[in-house]
Amino acid sequence: MSDIAEDVFILQGKKAIIAEDDEVIQQQLEILLSRLGATVQIAHHSSELDELLKMEGPFSLLLLDLHLPPYNMLEWVRNYREEDQQMPILGLSATDPGGLAMNAGVQRVLKKPLDFQEIKRSIYFFARDQRSDTEEESKSKVSL
């Protein structure tokens, strides 16, 4: 059972990246992720996203505008997943790419205008899932 105080800072010690070209949305998401304990980096366009991932990674979470110029972001996600990258990707979109985004490797698509409670629920889900995986790995290493 998870402790509520622990959940408040569920991203404590983790790095998150926001890939979004709208400055207002960037600021709102940065505030949210910072309040959850994350260290946040922002990519204003998709080529900057590539650079941050290479230079500042690894990251624990990516909030990704699915229409971030100049790349086709669904193709970008497919290529990223082919490299066996497991980082959770939450897609942000004003249009619903639905199954296309999920088939590309996005874990969840969040519609714009953004519902910040839904974003928090999604972050909690994936952060807990990562923590459970890490705890299971630790237990298996101890039992060896």
The architecture that CATH gives domain 4-136 is 3-Layer(aba) Sandwich (3.40)
Domain ranges of the chain: 4-136
- Residue ranges of alpha helices (H) inside 9-72 are 23-35, 46-56
- 144 residues of the chain, pLDDT tens digit each: 344 444 578 899 999 999 999 999 999 999 999 999 999 999 999 999 999 999 998 999 999 999 999 989 999 999 999 986 789 999 999 886 668 898 899 999 999 999 999 999 999 888 776 654 444 443 333 332
Among all chains, which residue has been given the structure tokens 């309040």?
Answer: 35
* Residue 94, Ramachandran bin (φ over 0: left; ψ between -120 and 50: alpha; else beta): alpha
Provide the token pair at 29: 């998401």
pLDDT at 95: 85
- Residue ranges of alpha helices (H) inside the chain are 4-8, 23-35, 46-56, 73-82, 99-104, 116-143
pLDDT at 99: 80
Provide the token pair at 47: 């080529």
pLDDT at 133: 46
